[in-house]
Amino acid sequence: MAQADLVIRGGTVFDGSGGAPFIADVAIRDGLVVGVGAGDWVGDQEIDASGLMVTPGWVDIHTHYDGQMTWDERMTPSSTLGATTILAGNCGVGFAPARPADHDTLIRLMEGVEDIPGAALHEGLSWKWESFGEYLDAIDGLPRDIDVAAQIPHGALRVYVMGQRGAKRETATAEEIAQMRTLVRDGVRAGALGFSTSRTLIHRTADGDLTPTLGAAREEMIGIAEGLRDAGSGVIQVASDFADIDEEFALMRELTQVSGQQLTFSLVQADVVPDRWRALLDRLDAAVSDGIQMKAQVAGRPVGLMLGLQGSVHPFVSRPSYQAIKDLPLAEKVANLRDPAFRARLIAEAPLRDHPFINALAGAHHKMFELGDPPNYEPDPADSLGLRAKALGVNPDELVYDAMLEDEGRAFLFFPLANYTEGSLENVRAMLENPNTLSGLSDGGAHVGAICDVSLPTTMLVHWCRDRVRGPKLDLAEVIRAQTRDTAEAVGLYDRGLLKPGYLADVNIIDFERLRLHAPHMVYDLPTGARRLMQHADGYVATIKSGQIIYREGQPTGALPGKLVRGRKPAPAAPTLMAAE
Preceding amide of 520 cis, omega within 30: no
Residue type for 453, please?
D
Which band of pLDDT confidence, cut at 50, 70 and 90, is reported for residue 40?
confident
Q: For residue 577, is pLDDT > 50?
A: no
Q: For residue 230, is pLDDT > 80?
A: yes
Which band of pLDDT confidence, cut at 50, 70 and 90, is reported for residue 574?
low
DSSP 75-136: -TTTGGGTEEEEEE--TT--S-S--GGGHHHHHHHHHHHH---HHHHHHH-----SSHHHHH
Q: Residue 504 in contact with residue 41, Cβ under 8 Å? A: no
Residue pLDDT, tens place only, 537-573:
999 999 999 999 999 999 999 999 999 999 999 999 8
Residue pLDDT, tens place only, 429-481:
999 999 999 999 999 999 999 999 999 999 999 999 999 999 999 999 999 99
Cα 44 from Cα 56, distance rounded (Å) = 21
Domain boundaries, the chain: 90-304+425-445, 305-418
The beta strands (E) that lie in 164-316 are given as 194-199, 235-240, 263-267, 294-298, 303-307
The arithmetic mean of pLDDT across residues 243-255, rounded, is 97
Burial 57-76 (b: 16+ CB within 10 A, else e): bbbbbbbbbbbbbbebebbb
257 SS3 class: helix
58, β-bridge pairs: 83
Residue pLDDT, tens place only, 130-151:
999 999 999 998 999 999 999 9
Question: What is the share, in percent, of the chain residues with pLDDT greater than 90?
Answer: 97
How are beta strands 537-538 and 516-517 bridged, if at all?
A: antiparallel
What's the distance, Cα to Cα, between the start and end of the chain in Å? 7
Return the CATH number of the domain spanning residue range 90-304+425-445: 3.20.20.140
Q: For residue 428, is pLDDT > 80?
A: yes
- pTM (predicted TM-score): 0.97
Residue pLDDT, tens place only, 76-132:
999 999 999 999 999 999 999 999 999 999 999 999 999 999 999 999 999 999 999
Alpha helices in 324-452 (DSSP H): 330-337, 340-348, 356-362, 385-392, 396-404, 406-409, 426-433
Residue pLDDT, tens place only, 293-343:
999 999 999 999 999 999 999 999 999 999 999 999 999 999 999 999 999
The arithmetic mean of pLDDT across residues 412-422, rounded, is 97
In this structure, how many other beta carbons lie within 10 angstroms of the beta carbon of residue 44?
11
Residue type for 350, please?
A
User: Tell me, what's the pLDDT at 581?
Assistant: 36
Cα 370 from Cα 303, distance rounded (Å) = 16
Residue pLDDT, tens place only, 13-22:
999 999 999 9
Cα 221 from Cα 258, distance rounded (Å) = 10
User: Tell me, what's the pLDDT at 241?
Assistant: 96
Q: Residue 355 in contact with residue 313, Cβ under 8 Å? A: no
Q: For residue 39, is pLDDT > 90?
A: no
What are the two backbone dihedrals, phi and then psi, of residue 357, each rounded to the nearest 5 degrees? -65, -45
Preceding amide of 374 cis, omega within 30: yes
User: Tell me, what's the pLDDT at 575?
Assistant: 56
User: Tell me, what's the pLDDT at 1?
Assistant: 79
Residue type for 464, please?
W
User: Tell me, what's the pLDDT at 332?
Assistant: 98
Q: For residue 576, is pLDDT > 70?
A: no
Residue pLDDT, tens place only, 482-497:
999 999 999 999 999 9
Which band of pLDDT confidence, cut at 50, 70 and 90, is reported for residue 506?
very high
Q: Residue 237 in contact with residue 264, Cβ under 8 Å? A: yes
How are beta strands 537-538 and 540-545 bridged, if at all?
A: unpaired
369 SS3 class: strand
Residue pLDDT, tens place only, 370-399:
999 999 999 999 999 999 999 999 999 999
153 SS3 class: strand
Q: For residue 578, is pLDDT > 70?
A: no
Q: How far is CA 39 from CA 1, 8, 26, 27, 414, in A?
A: 9, 10, 9, 9, 47
Cα 189 from Cα 237, distance rounded (Å) = 18
Cα 174 from Cα 304, distance rounded (Å) = 41
Q: For residue 351, is pLDDT > 90?
A: yes
User: Tell me, what's the pLDDT at 354?
Assistant: 87
